[in-house]
Structure 1
Amino acid sequence: MIAVTLCSSGGNPLMGLSTPAVAATPTEVWTAPGQSWAFFSDDGTLAVAAGNTAAGGRLEIRQAGTGAVVRVLTSPVKFNAVALSAENQTFAVTVNDTSSGLVVRTIRLYRVSDGALLRAIPTSAARDLDSLHFAPDGRTVAAMDARSYEKGGQVHVHRTSDGARVKVLTVPATTAAARFSPDGRLLAANDRAVVGGRFVAGVRVFRTDTWATALTLTDGDQLIRWTPDSTGIWTKRILPGVPTGVRLVSAPTGAVQRALDLDLYDGVSDVTDNGAMVLTNRIIAPRRSLTFTSTLTGADVATFEFGHDVFPGDISPDGTLFTYARTTAPSAFDVHVARTPRP
């Protein structure tokens, strides 16, 4: 049973307890064996699945509805992050290039139609680039490294046409996440601030015309995603000893439009485009369930139980499909695409 609190900026919190509908497993559509994570294209027609083994990285672009393979990329070096441009013409990966004898965190751009390497963009990143995202117009790409051992915590923005560095933004978060707004006017990234003498997670939003800070959240928020109209950001609020919270925050005013409290140690993967449901999981063992919860009522729509650890992924733009990775062996996974339950 999950205890939830629902509130909005215009009223008092509503308390509720809900018992979710339980199903053995979701209704599966297709599977990508050996892959570790997957996400949908902006238009929902494609899904990108990726994973790493001792042999290196493998990326598969598939038809979202059928799983038919469109393009495969393999590499002797592992992929740290992947991204697909809004028009589905270019995909990108981040790798640690050691060909020079030094570790250079590099963004590689490829053409979807034939898999040809278009450009390798070396960055000044001091840590692995674990988050990657194209601007909506495809002219720039942003990659973020997390803060670790006093290095990293930056967003590296580069031009895709020639690889030139546009901007390096300092956001010393220990979890990398960088996302352009759908209209391209803003860039959100995980941040970190000192509050009461301790580090607290946050989100910072930059204007892409001047790179000035437009909004700062410093109360445990971490980035989930933008709303399709670019007016809001869904965040997960994580503080020690406090139940995980999901919030919809207006950008750039910072006003909280919707808030949902989950259980302690709940993780949050994605929110549907219409903002109706959130996909959650447990971040402590046993991690063998996935839950869809209504952000409007706080009721659990469905909980799926598994015999092995599972990790939630992305929800398709139309809300009909979602991805998750299921453990098959130590450090081995399969990606699954399944049907989303109706609220």
Structure 2
Amino acid sequence: MIRRRSIAVLIAAVMALPGLSVPAAAATPADVWTAPGQSWAFFSEDGTVAVAVGNTSAGGRLEIRQSTTGSLTRVLTSPLKFTAAALSADNQTVAVTVNDTSSGLTVRTIRLYRTVTGALLRSIPTSAGRDLDSVHFAPGGQTVAAMDARSYERGGHVHVHRVSTGARLATLTVPATTAAVRFSPDGRFLAANDRVIVDGRAVAGVRVFRTDTWATALTIGDGNLLIRWTPDSTGIWTRRILPGVPTGVRLVSVPTGAVQRSLELDLYESVSDVTDDGALLLTHPVVAPRRSLTFTDSVTGADVATYEFGHDVFPGDISRDATLFSYARSTGPSAFTVHVARSSGP
């Protein structure tokens, strides 16, 4: 189904959810805290911590904050810019990816830090041919994976390494032009954006690997890109992006590939995250002006809460209990402020 926006649908949907107030015509979220100069933010698996990341001409800066108050607990800085970041499930280790040029060559590297002290634990050089734009820890924290997207016939691999030693465990070929890599919550699978050839043309997709053998368990084509796993590891949320076609959101079973849920959004709209219970999508326009964020019912397609801004905004993450979400607001050319705001939780 293609959803229709209207004030009546918006009000009815909002009133149906306890804890939500009816947004004004040009409402903005109720911010809990901000991180000026940071470009994106995500929440820890347990929801207690938020990580805000940013880059300037001076290099990379990563801030670890208490998610509900914004209290700053640790800052990591580097003369090298960060291309991706991740936090282990126990909140003890943070991974960042950088382009290390100290040897005279560009080596795409995963750096691991202790969150309590900020100490560098290990630098893991990879064979990546392009920037590592996505990184993720396995649930047990013993394995880390990072992905470089394919560009100009280089890149398009997932680089899997052991955290304790830096040893390479696998290099998986997934020639996607956008990077996204995620371990399943139970650790049995690793999903990544992919690219498949259909009738002679390249189409976006998602590849799921078994982590015990690194064999392919499932391939999803038809323009799908990875959003996230379900908490029980039985499914993957994807967004279906094809030129001139309304964006599709799907919940796909793993490893069977059966489509459990399907919804069409507006043309030129996308999804950045889904609540743990699968009830709400955080949607946004992908063409200018990018000045709105919407929480959308994943079953009916109704707009539950819509926020409008005077500047471009870029959505981020939803906390595990769905009470908070992050977004970045443009404050100037290549300058942003991260916001954490209250969402649709009780």
Same fold? TM cut 0.5: yes
Q: C-alpha distance in 2, partners of 1:35/1:45? A: 19
Alignment of 1:226 onto 2:221:
no
**Structure-2 change in CA distance of 1:333 and 1:185 (3 Å):** same
In structure 2, what is the equivalent of residue 337 of structure 1? 340
Aligned residue number for residue 115 of structure 1? 118
Choose which of 326, 330, 335 in structure 2 pairs with 1:327.
330
Query: Could you say if the C-alpha distance between residues 342 and 83 of structure 1 is closer, same or farther in structure 2, counting changes exceeding 3 Å?
Result: closer
Q: Give the secondary structure class of the aligned counterpart of 2:311.
A: coil
Task: State the Cα distance separating 1:341 from its structure 2 match.
Answer: 2.8
Partner of 2:215: 212
Instruction: Tell me the TM-score normalized by structure 2.
Output: 0.94
The alignment status of 1:183 with 2:186, answered yes or no, reads: yes
Report Cα offsets for 1:295-334 as digits up to 9, x if no partner: 1221110110000000000000000000000000010000
Contact 1:301–1:342 (Cα < 8 Å) also in 2:
no
- 1:249-268 to structure 2, matched below 5 A, reads 249-268=252-271
State the alpha-carbon separation in 2 of the partners of residues 321 and 125 from structure 1: 34
Could you report, residue by residue, the CA deviation over 1:178-215 in whole angstroms, capped at 9, with x for unpaired residues?
00000000000000011122110000000000001000
Hey, what's the Cα distance between the residues in 2 that align with 1:193 and 1:138?
31
2:292 maps to 289
CA distance in 1, matches of 2:89, 2:329: 28
C-alpha distance in structure 2 between counterparts of 1:242 and 1:138, whole Å: 39
- Count of residue correspondences: 331
Any idea what SS the aligned residue of 1:328 has? strand
Alpha carbons 1:205, 1:215 under 8 Å: kept = yes
How far is 1:17 from its partner? 5.4
Counterpart position of 2:19: none
How high is the TM-score relative to the length of structure 1?
0.95
Alignment of 1:1-343 (within 5 A): 5=2, 18-19=6-7, 20=10, 22-23=23-24, 24-341=27-344
Give the letter for the 1:315 counterpart.
I
Alpha-carbon contact 2:321-2:345 (below 8 Å) kept: no
User: CA separation in 2, counterparts of 1:137 and 1:341?
Assistant: 30
Task: Tell me the percent identity.
Answer: 77
Gaps of 5+ in 2: 12-22
CA 1:81–1:235: 2 relative to 1, 3 Å: same
State which drifts further: 192-201 or 102-111.
Answer: 192-201
Q: For residue 18 of structure 1, report the CA deviation from its aligned partner.
A: 4.5
Q: How far did residue 121 of structure 1 move? A: 0.2
Residue 14 of structure 2: aligned partner:
none
Report the Cα distance in structure 2 between the residues aligned to 1:201 and 1:18, rounded to whole angstroms. 32
| CA RMSD, Structure 1 to Structure 2 (Å) | 1.2
Report the secondary structure of 2:187's partner residue. Answer: coil
Task: Kindly indicate which of the two structures has a greater share of residues assigned to strand.
Answer: 1
Task: Provide the C-alpha distance between the structure 2 equivalents of 1:107 and 1:312, rounded to a whole number of angstroms.
Answer: 25
In structure 1, the residue matched to 2:15 is none
